[in-house]
Chain A
Amino acid sequence: MTMDEDRQGLAAEYVLGTLDAAERAQADALLLEDAEFSTVVRQWERRLGELNVMVAPVEPPAPVWDKIRDSIARASPATPMRLPELAAPAVAAQHGPSAEIIDLTQRMRRWRGLTVMTGALAASIVAIVVAREYRPDMLPADWRPKPQVVERVIEKPVEVVREVVREVPSARPAQFVAVFQKDEQSPAFVMSVDVEKRMVTVRQVAAERLADRTYQLWIATQPGAAPRSLGVLGNDDFTVRAALADYDPAVINNATFGISLEPLGGSPTGQPTGPVIHARLLQVTPAQNP
Chain B
Amino acid sequence: MTSAMLTPPELVWLMAAVAKGDQAAFERLYAATRTKLYGVVLRILRRSDLADEVIQETYLKIWHNAGSFDPKVATPITWMVAIARNRALDLIRKKTEASIEDEPAAMEAAGEEPNPLARREMTEDLRRLLGCLGQLEEDRRRMVLLAYYSGWSREQLAVKFEAPANTIKTWLRRSLLEIRECLGS
Residues of A near any B CB (own CB < 8 A): 8-9, 12-13, 15-21, 24, 42-61, 63-65, 67-69, 71-73, 75-76, 106, 109-110, 113-114, 116-118, 183-184
Contact = CB atoms under 8 A, between A and B. Distances in A.
Contacts of B44: 17
Contacts of B35: 57-60
Given A18-B154, A53-B123, A71 B93 contact: no
Interface residues of B, number: 77
B71 to A, nearest CB: 12
Interface of B: 1, 3, 21, 23, 26-27, 30, 34-36, 38-40, 42-44, 48, 51-52, 55-57, 59-61, 63-65, 67-68, 73-75, 77-79, 81-82, 85-86, 89-90, 93-94, 97, 113-117, 121-123, 125-126, 129, 144-145, 147-149, 151-155, 157, 168-169, 172-173, 176-177, 179-180, 183, 185
Interface centre among A46, A49, A56, A106 (most CB of B within 10 A): A49
Contacts, number: 180
8 contacts: A12-B173, A49-B77, A60-B34, A68-B30, A71-B60, A109-B68, A117-B63, A184-B86
A15 B179 CA distance: 13
A60 to B, nearest CB: 4
Contact of A65 (B34, B51, B94, B185): B34
B172 A57 contact: no
B14 to A, nearest CB: 15
A55 B114 contact: yes
A106 B39 CA distance: 32
B181 to A, nearest CB: 12
A49 B153 contact: no
Contact of A20 (B30, B93, B117): B93
Contacts of B39: 55-58
Contact of A52 (B27, B77, B172): B77
B63 A49 contact: no
A113 B152 contact: no
Contacts of A54: 113-117, 126
Nearest to B173: A9
Contacts of A42: 73-74
Contacts of A46: 73-75, 78
A207 to B, nearest CB: 16
Contacts of A55: 36, 39-40, 43, 114, 149
